Chain A
Amino acid sequence: MFGEGIIQGLLETARNFFGSYVEKDRLTTVQYPEERFELPEASRNFPFLLYDGPDSDAGLRCVACQICEKECPPRCIHIEKSKDKKPDFVGKQQFYPAVFDIDVSVCMSCQICVEVCPFDAIRMDKVFELSTSDRFGGLLWDKQELSKSNDYYREIHPTEAAETDERRTKELAEAQAKAAAAAAAAAAKAAQAAANPPAATPGSAANGAGAPAKQEAANPETALPEAKVKQ
């Protein structure tokens, strides 16, 4: 009534003014380029392509199936499939992307490409300082710029990476076991064929047995991430 509220207010701001010089806790500002918050593990911003081993070309997991390209809502991914094939991590012959471009300025960080990828080939990165002075070339990232090693993935998203690695080693083991079983069966068949020479030539029998076994080895690999997406 007599203006004492104004005095109280003035005292409060004075307390804040001097307090901010004394108690550092009052200042909540993080002075960005010099200081920065550690990003939470689940943070994600922009996709990258994973590769195993030291060589980004040989170890690239992407098989150019183009699912991500088709699912991408803003259509920022551009893939051109290769003409030849190279073996993937279980040894199966696969295509690989001859061209894989992502437009940084179009990508909206929705992570749908990651969710639909059946090959664990694309993952979200934590980097966010993607600005560049080159509007056109600098914002269109090609395969070389997008490729990052699995070690890097383990570093930025340890939990996810461990889960993916575990699944992939299991798949590899299964594939190897199946291949071994198929090889054993083929050997047995070959032995049987050798026992009954008039039935068939040994070479064609081995081929016929080998192909379906390999296909089956690839099956769980495709089935698993799809099941995950449906959940």
Chain B
Amino acid sequence: MIAAVFNSVSADQIFVWIKHWLVVRTPSPLQTLVSILLTILPIIVIFPALFALSVLLERKGLGRMQNRYGPNRVGLFGILQPIADAVKSLTKEDIVPRAADHVVHYLAPLLLVGAVFLVYAVLPMGRNMVAVDLDAGVLFFFAVGAATELAIFMAGWSSRNKYSLLGAMRAIAQMISYEIPLILSSIAVVMIAGTLSTTIIVDRQAHYTGTLAHWNVFTPWGLAGFILFMISGMAETNRSPFDLPEGESEIIAGYFIEYSGFKFALFFLAEYLEMFSVSALAITLFLGGWSSPFSFLAWIPSWIWFFAKLVVFICFFIWVRGTLPRLRMDQLMNFAWKFMLPMSLIVIFSAGVWRFLPHAVAGSAPLGLVVRWLVCALLILVPYVALARALEQGRHIEKRTYRFAE
């Protein structure tokens, strides 16, 4: 039976096929509803499960980076720790401050999680596996993603707490500042692909020259854009080292200081889901979405490629969190406006040059590729070095001497 199913449909399209099989067998008045539910349900189940997995990975990984064991008590090697964490956070008392604006305080985490889940609608998770194939998918992503800022400010404002308000203001300042390089660095991709549709952007990258895929990250502007996108994505999702909206040492927990129990868990969930969604968009825009990097690996199902890339991204986020200390507010803003913004504009320019340079020089396509590569890489590298030098100018970093603590 199962073998027959595998023969009739490829593993690549198994989920599409299952959904179709189920929808066809429901009575026709319910078909639309069932189809919608079968699209939404996997997203609502899989990504929180991934959240549980990544919390475990994060705790174990950070522990190992700090030469600790990490959680190893619940289950074998602590693999059941997420379940214990979930039970703990669900059974905690939900405390709302008496002075808080109760309605807004209640709505903020729901709006946040809702907005974050909406974003997954336009992310292609495999071949033909996208919830809504919007023409303006990238635009939808950024527009809905910006709603999280509203939710965060609602949380900070309604708590009636100076720390939560400060945290929310920091978060807003940071997210608005980093949204600009985030969007600008993805504009390069949109320009080259000529579309805002995420599915078409992935399709364009799923072609091969020789064995290598046409991923945007394999071009100079794509590589630089990818790095800029990841940095601004980290800032956008309040991940370390840009986690100063929740800096424990200054403002305790930032905007969710007055949240406890399940609402706190929702904030925590939303933070991770945001991280996954930004990673997924980076995969979609720069790393070919569900496509394999080499043509000889294309037999691996597309959804495996997508989730494998996502897990690698999560591990990288954890690695960065274990490495870098938190930035200062002025460093954060300087970095956004003096470095990220000019660099993302330069990347757009370089992408434009890439688009209009001739594909073949003297009738030779490989030579044309080399020339394009060199020109575009120089267009990015030279301003990068100049900008780094200029920002370094006038700053003397000396070894700090301590008068009393020797």
Query: Does A231 lie at the interface of the complex (its beta carbon under 8 Å from any beta carbon of B)?
Result: no
Asked if A16 and B388 make an inter-chain contact with CB atoms under 8 angstroms apart, the answer reads no
Query: What is the CA–CA distance of A1 and B387 in the complex, to the nearest angstrom?
Result: 10
Among A1, A12, A29, contact of B69 (Cβ-Cβ < 8 Å): A29
Closest to B66 in A: A16
Query: What is the CA–CA distance of A19 and B68 in the complex, to the nearest angstrom?
Result: 11
Closest to A12 in B: B323
Query: What is the CA–CA distance of A216 and B238 in the complex, to the nearest angstrom?
Result: 80
Query: Does B324 lie at the interface of the complex (its beta carbon under 8 Å from any beta carbon of A)?
Result: yes
Query: Does A20 lie at the interface of the complex (its beta carbon under 8 Å from any beta carbon of B)?
Result: yes
Asked if B69 and A16 make an inter-chain contact with CB atoms under 8 angstroms apart, the answer reads no
Asked if B385 and A16 make an inter-chain contact with CB atoms under 8 angstroms apart, the answer reads no
Query: Does B400 lie at the interface of the complex (its beta carbon under 8 Å from any beta carbon of A)?
Result: no
Taken residue by residue from 1 to 40, chain A's Cβ proximity to chain B (1 for < 8 Å, 0 otherwise) reads as 1100010011011101101110000111101000000000
Given A1-B389, A10-B320, A13-B319, also A31-B66 (CB < 8 A): no
Query: Does B67 lie at the interface of the complex (its beta carbon under 8 Å from any beta carbon of A)?
Result: yes
Query: What is the CA–CA distance of A13 and B66 in the complex, to the nearest angstrom?
Result: 8
Query: What is the CA–CA distance of A40 and B69 in the complex, to the nearest angstrom?
Result: 25
Asked if A9 and B69 make an inter-chain contact with CB atoms under 8 angstroms apart, the answer reads no
Query: What is the CA–CA distance of A31 and B319 in the complex, to the nearest angstrom?
Result: 25
Query: Does B64 lie at the interface of the complex (its beta carbon under 8 Å from any beta carbon of A)?
Result: yes
Given A1-B389, A2-B388, also A16-B320 (CB < 8 A): no
Given A2-B385, A6-B324, A14-B319, also A27-B66 (CB < 8 A): no
Query: What is the CA–CA distance of A9 and B67 in the complex, to the nearest angstrom?
Result: 15
* Residue from B67, B320, B322, B384 with most neighbouring chain A CB atoms (10 Å): B67
Q: Provide the residues of chain A in CB contact with B68, threshold 8 Å.
A: 20, 27, 29
Q: Provide the residues of chain A in CB contact with B320, threshold 8 Å.
A: 10
Q: Provide the residues of chain B in CB contact with A13, threshold 8 Å.
A: 65, 319, 322-323
Query: Does B254 lie at the interface of the complex (its beta carbon under 8 Å from any beta carbon of A)?
Result: no
Q: Provide the residues of chain B in CB contact with A10, threshold 8 Å.
A: 319-320, 323
Query: What is the CA–CA distance of A12 and B324 in the complex, to the nearest angstrom?
Result: 11
Given A17-B61, A21-B64, also A27-B389 (CB < 8 A): no
* Residue from A2, A13, A19, A20 with most neighbouring chain B CB atoms (10 Å): A13
Q: Provide the residues of chain B in CB contact with A29, threshold 8 Å.
A: 68-69
Closest to A6 in B: B324
Asked if A17 and B389 make an inter-chain contact with CB atoms under 8 angstroms apart, the answer reads no
Query: Does B406 lie at the interface of the complex (its beta carbon under 8 Å from any beta carbon of A)?
Result: no
Say whether chain B's binding surface is mostly helix, strand, loop, or mixed.
Answer: helix
Q: Provide the residues of chain B in CB contact with A21, threshold 8 Å.
A: 64
Closest to B63 in A: A20
Query: What is the CA–CA distance of A19 and B64 in the complex, to the nearest angstrom?
Result: 9
Total count of chain B residues near the partner, CB < 8 A: 18
Say whether chain A's binding surface is mostly helix, strand, loop, or mixed.
Answer: helix
- B142 → chain A closest CB, angstroms: 26
- B66 → chain A closest CB, angstroms: 7
Query: Does B330 lie at the interface of the complex (its beta carbon under 8 Å from any beta carbon of A)?
Result: no
Query: What is the CA–CA distance of A9 and B388 in the complex, to the nearest angstrom?
Result: 19
Query: What is the CA–CA distance of A21 and B324 in the complex, to the nearest angstrom?
Result: 22
Q: Provide the residues of chain A in CB contact with B72, threshold 8 Å.
A: 31
Q: Provide the residues of chain A in CB contact with B64, threshold 8 Å.
A: 16-17, 20-21
Closest to A18 in B: B64
Asked if B69 and A27 make an inter-chain contact with CB atoms under 8 angstroms apart, the answer reads yes
Taken residue by residue from 355 to 395, chain B's Cβ proximity to chain A (1 for < 8 Å, 0 otherwise) reads as 00000000000000000000000000000110011001000
Query: What is the CA–CA distance of A1 and B324 in the complex, to the nearest angstrom?
Result: 16
Query: What is the CA–CA distance of A2 and B388 in the complex, to the nearest angstrom?
Result: 6
Closest to B316 in A: A10
Q: Provide the residues of chain B in CB contact with A19, threshold 8 Å.
A: 67
Query: What is the CA–CA distance of A6 and B324 in the complex, to the nearest angstrom?
Result: 8
- A227 → chain B closest CB, angstroms: 43
Query: What is the CA–CA distance of A9 and B72 in the complex, to the nearest angstrom?
Result: 26
Query: What is the CA–CA distance of A14 and B69 in the complex, to the nearest angstrom?
Result: 15
- A29 → chain B closest CB, angstroms: 5
Query: What is the CA–CA distance of A148 and B384 in the complex, to the nearest angstrom?
Result: 76
Interface pairs A-B: 4 shortest CB-CB: A13-B323, A9-B323, A13-B65, A26-B67
B residues whose Cβ falls under 8 Å from a Cβ of A: 61, 64-69, 72, 319-320, 322-324, 384-385, 388-389, 392
- Given A1-B392, A28-B67, output 14 extra A-B contacts at Cβ < 8 Å: A1-B389, A2-B384, A9-B323, A13-B65, A13-B319, A14-B319, A16-B64, A16-B65, A16-B67, A17-B61, A20-B64, A20-B67, A27-B69, A29-B68
Can you give 19 A-B contacts (C-beta < 8 A)? A1-B392, A2-B384, A6-B323, A9-B323, A9-B324, A10-B320, A13-B322, A14-B319, A16-B64, A16-B67, A17-B61, A17-B64, A17-B322, A20-B64, A20-B68, A21-B64, A27-B67, A29-B69, A31-B69
